[in-house]
């Protein structure tokens, strides 16, 4: 349990890298006495902890997995089955399974030295950002990176490794949204065919008492079960991150 919490904490270090890099020499980020009072430091820390969950789910595979699972539930037409709690829990554990090697690397190279006093928070954040940067660069599209550089009026870096995190992170989020919507559109197609067929048949026989969606729902669920849909969808999602 403690190791799991340490892994989650180590994933938060790259998110502090951008602010730690720009922190003044006498700030609390550098482990020295700063100009901020202790009460203000506590307020800033609590604010960071409040925003941390939203940041973590946006810069990990959790984003793609949750969007795809949402599209799948909408395509099946099952309304609230599975529930949001089940989908979020499944996406969380799949995300932890995907990033566990990277989180372990961050834990060993950044979190443990910082915990032992061998590295400052700023150095640990910069060290932890390296594995995450490689992960984000793998999935961030050049078009999205160029867009972020344009809207921020930043100069293009010489190499992708020189990209600032304020450019790389939103570009990664945009790329993940595009990928998840593409997967969701493909998931919709077979169920859309069933809806069209059922609607055509019910209209041709004059069955207008029941909505076509209600009639097609059992057929869509049956098709999904017969092809072992959960295994196919989750397997394809996990292989998309390898």
Q: Which residues contact 162 (CB under 8 A, 6 or more apart)?
A: none
CA atoms of 116 and 62, how far apart (whole Å): 30
- Distance separating alpha carbons of residues 236 and 234, to the nearest angstrom: 5
Q: What residue has token string 């593409």? A: 182
User: pLDDT tens digits, residue range 172-221?
Assistant: 999 999 999 999 888 888 888 888 888 888 777 776 676 777 777 888 88
What b/e string do you get for 87-96 counting C-beta neighbours within 10 Å, with b at 16 or more? bbebbeebbb
* Exposed/middle/buried for residue 61 (C-beta within 10 Å: 0-12, 13-18, 19+): buried
Q: Which of 26-30, 137-141, 162-166 has the lowest mean pLDDT?
A: 26-30
pLDDT band at 22 (very low <50, low <70, confident <90, very high): very low
Reported pTM? 0.76
> What gap in Å lies between CA 77 and CA 73, rounded to an integer?
6
* Contact assessment for residue 49 and residue 43, using Cβ atoms and an 8 Å cutoff: no
Tokens of 179: 């990928």
Q: In this structure, how many other beta carbons lie within 10 angstroms of the beta carbon of residue 227? A: 11
- More confident site: 51 or 87: 87
What's residue 15's pLDDT?
54
């Amino acid at each position: 349990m403690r190791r799991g919490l340490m892994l989650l904490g180590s994933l938060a270090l790259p998110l502090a890298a951008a602010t730690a890099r720009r922190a003044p020499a006498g700030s609390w980020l550098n482990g020295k006495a700063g100009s901020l009072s202790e009460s203000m430091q506590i307020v800033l820390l609590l604010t960071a902890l409040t925003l941390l969950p939203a940041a973590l789910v946006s810069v990990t595979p959790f984003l793609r997995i949750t969007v795809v699972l949402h599209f799948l539930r909408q395509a099946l037409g099952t309304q609230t089955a599975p529930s949001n709690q089940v989908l979020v829990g499944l996406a969380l554990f799949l995300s932890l399974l995907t990033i566990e090697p990277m989180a372990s690397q961050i834990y060993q190279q950044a979190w443990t030295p910082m915990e032992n006093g061998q590295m400052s928070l700023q150095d640990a954040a910069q060290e932890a950002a390296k594995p995450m940067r490689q992960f984000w660069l793998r999935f961030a599209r050049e078009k999205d990176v160029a867009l972020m550089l344009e809207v921020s009026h930043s100069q293009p870096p010489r190499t992708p490794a020189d990209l600032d995190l304020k450019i790389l992170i939103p570009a990664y989020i945009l790329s993940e949204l595009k990928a998840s919507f593409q997967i969701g559109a493909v998931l919709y197609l077979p169920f859309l065919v069933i809806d069209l067929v059922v609607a055509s048949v019910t209209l041709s026989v004059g069955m207008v008492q029941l909505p076509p969606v209600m009639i097609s729902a059992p057929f869509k669920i049956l098709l999904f079960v017969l092809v072992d849909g959960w295994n196919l969808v989750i397997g394809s999602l996990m292989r998309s991150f390898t």
